[in-house]
């Protein structure tokens, strides 16, 4: 049975990968509809021939890597179970200590190490791809440092999560999912509060915006929007990427408005003010808190479904997967695999909500700045610096895009400009 499950898993992954290769490279049409050709949303009007070719090639390969990476994670967890490695991890933990916390920590350490080894090749391919297309400017050493920081941060959180999770399962095999969800509420809020001041600085250096004249302009917009901001931060990303970004992160007193230094270098003040107005819209319209509420709702449904699916899978294939019961730590790879699957399946819904919020933020930015030209130039530069597709394939948009496509964003601004001109 174990061999049959493994074979079916490999064949399904192969067919899945073949489908998306065919879809992305031979079926999907990313050309602009006729009515948009020659407009400011047409990449041919602001990208040269080489940039057009590179953006198409880069996007296709990057999208294929995305669609291959997540199911590869499922296949990895499946084979951890089928090959008996989960049994071995538990045995090594039990041989090392008599304390439950130490035992579970050792299990998580081995599982995390094997996962890191298995997924690093795909991560490295993605890194080299971005280097080849001049998106990434990071050295191999810098990239490896970030990967190791990711490993240790995730490992530290995973130890706590797994220990508490299995303590809850042993306490209540029927309602553990609900108690786990209750704990995700303070845990998620705590992480969001800590991220700007503890986690993010592990990867990059943050400091107050050096251009005080620009900071004054940004804070003036914040004041008009009734945002209690005192500083704007910049982060040194030029040593890692040529892409542009700006964002608002954190909650409460740890909220931060952040600009990448690449954004400061490549955009003028008017364009930066448009971006800042967009980011401030998320604060004004409470998108952060709506996002938290949505995440908690999805978590509740996801944990419930995970508990039911785990019970069903173990009842039917527990012997083949070498999982005696739900409350045994050897079920952890199955738990992680199901969570990953549910996140993937629900991503079109969460992305659709995000795209709606981003559209609202774009509209807020244009109403606040009254500068559609700056917005259009900003989106064109974002397309150029990230080699993005202006009109991505439908499945890519559903599964990957938390923002509207550049075609939609630029077209909206162009329509606003035409209407405003007529007024």
Tokens standing for 238?
């030029």
Query: What are the phi and psi torsion angles at 235 (to 5°)?
Result: -130, 140
Neighbours of 321 (CB within 10 A): 23
Crossing angle (nearest 10°) for helices 332-369 and 140-171: 120
Residues sharing a CB contact under 8 Å with residue 315, sequence separation 6 or more, in sequence order: none
Residue segments in the chain with a per-residue pLDDT below the cut of 50: none
Question: Which pLDDT belongs to residue 126?
Answer: 93
Question: Which pLDDT belongs to residue 227?
Answer: 74
**Could you say which of 73, 215, 234, 279 is catalytic?**
279
Distances (CA, A) of 415 to 84, 197, 347, 365: 60, 40, 30, 15
- Tell me the DSSP string of 237-261: -TTTBS---EEEE-SGGG-EEEEEH
Beta-sheet pairing, 246-249 with 256-260: antiparallel
Domain boundaries, given as residue ranges, for the chain: 2-204+286-422
Q: Give counts: helices (H), strands (E), the chain.
A: 14, 4
The answer to whether residue 147 is catalytic is no
- What's the rounded Cα separation, in Å, for the pair 104 and 111? 11
3-state secondary structure of 423: coil
Which pTM was predicted? Answer: 0.89
Per-residue pLDDT tens over the stretch 218-274: 888 888 777 776 778 888 888 888 888 887 776 666 677 788 888 888 899 999 999
């Amino acid at each position: 049975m174990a061999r049959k499950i493994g074979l079916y898993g490999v064949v399904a992954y192969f067919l899945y990968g073949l489908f998306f290769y065919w879809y992305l490279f031979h079926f999907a049409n990313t050309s602009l509809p006729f009515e948009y050709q020659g407009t400011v949303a047409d990449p041919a009007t602001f990208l040269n021939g080489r940039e057009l070719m590179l953006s198409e090639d880069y996007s296709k390969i990057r999208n294929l890597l995305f669609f291959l990476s997540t199911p590869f994670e499922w296949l990895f967890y499946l084979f951890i179970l089928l090959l008996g490695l989960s049994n071995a991890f538990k045995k090594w933990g039990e041989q090392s200590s008599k304390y439950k916390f130490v035992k579970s920590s050792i299990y998580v350490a081995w599982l995390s190490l094997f996962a890191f080894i298995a997924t690093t090749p795909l991560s490295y391919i993605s890194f080299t791809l971005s280097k080849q297309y001049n998106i990434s400017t990071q050295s191999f050493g810098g990239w490896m440092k970030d990967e190791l920081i990711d490993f240790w941060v995730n490992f530290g959180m995973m130890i706590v999560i797994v220990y508490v999770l299995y303590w809850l399962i042993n306490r209540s095999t029927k309602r553990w999912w609900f108690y786990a969800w209750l704990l995700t509420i303070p845990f998620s809020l705590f992480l969001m509060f800590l991220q700007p001041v503890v986690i993010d600085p592990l990867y990059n250096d943050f400091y107050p915006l050096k251009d005080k004249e620009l900071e004054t302009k940004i804070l003036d917009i914040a004041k008009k929007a009734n945002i209690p901001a005192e500083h704007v931060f910049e982060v040194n990303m030029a040593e890692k990427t040529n892409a542009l970004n700006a964002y608002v992160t954190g909650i409460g007193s740890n909220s931060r408005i952040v600009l990448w230094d690449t954004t400061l270098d490549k955009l003028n003040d008017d364009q930066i003010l448009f971006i800042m107005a967009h980011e401030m819209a998320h604060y004004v319209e409470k998108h952060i808190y709506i996002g938290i509420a949505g995440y908690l709702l999805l978590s509740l449904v996801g944990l419930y479904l995970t508990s039911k699916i785990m019970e069903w899978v173990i009842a039917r294939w527990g012997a083949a997967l070498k999982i005696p019961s739900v409350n045994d730590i050897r079920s952890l790879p199955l738990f992680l695999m199901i969570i990953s699957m549910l996140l993937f399946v629900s991503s079109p819904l969460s992305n659709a909500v995000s795209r709606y919020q981003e559209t609202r933020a774009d509209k807020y930015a244009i109403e606040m700045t009254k500068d559609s030209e700056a917005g259009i130039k900003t989106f064109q530069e974002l397309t150029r610096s990230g080699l993005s597709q202006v009109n991505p394939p439908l499945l890519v948009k559903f599964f990957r895009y938390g923002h509207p496509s550049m075609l939609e964003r630029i077209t909206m601004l162009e329509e606003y400009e035409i209407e405003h001109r007529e007024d």
